[in-house]
Structure 1
């Protein structure tokens, strides 16, 4: 007697059509929930509910900056986009960056102030805590961020970083080594970069 194998079950030839039909019906029943989900569509992610809160906070900070701007710093939105700002920091006196004008880009997340803004230099700067992409190694822009902080305080902290670099937590270790081993050489190079890129 000739038999066929369907999976691990041995069936008589006359039973094959019936078994195949049952298998097909069961497969479609198993797939039905998935088919209904695909037909219905997966809901799109909703916009963060607190984006309106973020906008209100950003507008308040912009007003405060106008009323009481931090020393040697300014900032404001690019065009009509309140979540994208440009900032300016004047090189503090009595440091290698004195006389320089440094531009930065600030991007606020939709859940600001519960998450920190993204801030980076767009002006090239020779600094152990700022890399070639303009990224800044500053704790309050990372794990030490608090909703109580403001852009005004962030800009003042960055300005202080120009006066007092932190070679113990460098973003560019090579520059940190020069800073620690040959301060005069470090300061000379920093001034050269100011003349070349920030004036």
Structure 2
């Protein structure tokens, strides 16, 4: 099994702008017919689809996986998730609720976490 560490730059049009986020990717022996096993943020991030363990809720890493998807596309999808969270399929319901009901507080908190954990 291969283990990679990737770096995702916080998208400029998001509260994660300027942050550098480390992501771990594990490839199973039957990759690309099965999705990468564990894709997780090693950098703490305040996001409704990423929990405190760094696990990511992203459909292409589960039921929507296709062998045609490249790691580049997976990383782009994760980057897009930073720009456009999916509060209707959250891993962290409290953050999803904040995103839906008080977006300013969500963005302020996400920006604060980015400065604290991703701009070291």
Relative to the length of structure 1, the TM-score reads 0.59
Residue number in structure 2 paired with 1:143: 63
Q: Structure 2: give runs of 5+ residues left out of the alignment.
A: none
Residue number in structure 1 paired with 2:15: 96
Tell me the C-alpha RMSD between the 2 structures. Answer: 0.8
Residue number among 25, 50, 65 corresponding to 1:130 in the alignment: 50
The structure with more radius of gyration: 1
**CA distance in 2 between partners of 1:122 and 1:110 (Å):** 23
**CA distance in 1 between partners of 2:13 and 2:43 (Å):** 20
Listed as ranges, the matches of 1:1-199 within 5 Å are: 83-117=2-36, 118-199=38-119
**CA distance in 2 between partners of 1:96 and 1:196 (Å):** 13
**CA distance in 1 between partners of 2:45 and 2:100 (Å):** 18
**CA distance in 2 between partners of 1:85 and 1:95 (Å):** 25
Would you identify which runs of 4 or more consecutive aligned residues in structure 1 move more than 4 Å?
A: none
Give deviations 1:28-67, integer Å, cap 9, x for gaps. Answer: xxxxxxxxxxxxxxxxxxxxxxxxxxxxxxxxxxxxxxxx
Q: Structure 1: give runs of 5+ residues left out of the alignment.
A: 1-81
**CA distance in 2 between partners of 1:159 and 1:183 (Å):** 19
Give the total of aligned pairs.
118
Deviation of residue 152 (structure 1)?
A: 0.3
Give deviations 1:133-158, integer Å, cap 9, x for gaps. Answer: 00000000001101111100000000
Give deviations 1:102-152, integer Å, cap 9, x for gaps. Answer: 000000000000110021100000000000000000000001101111100
Deviation of residue 177 (structure 1)?
A: 0.2
**CA distance in 2 between partners of 1:130 and 1:137 (Å):** 6
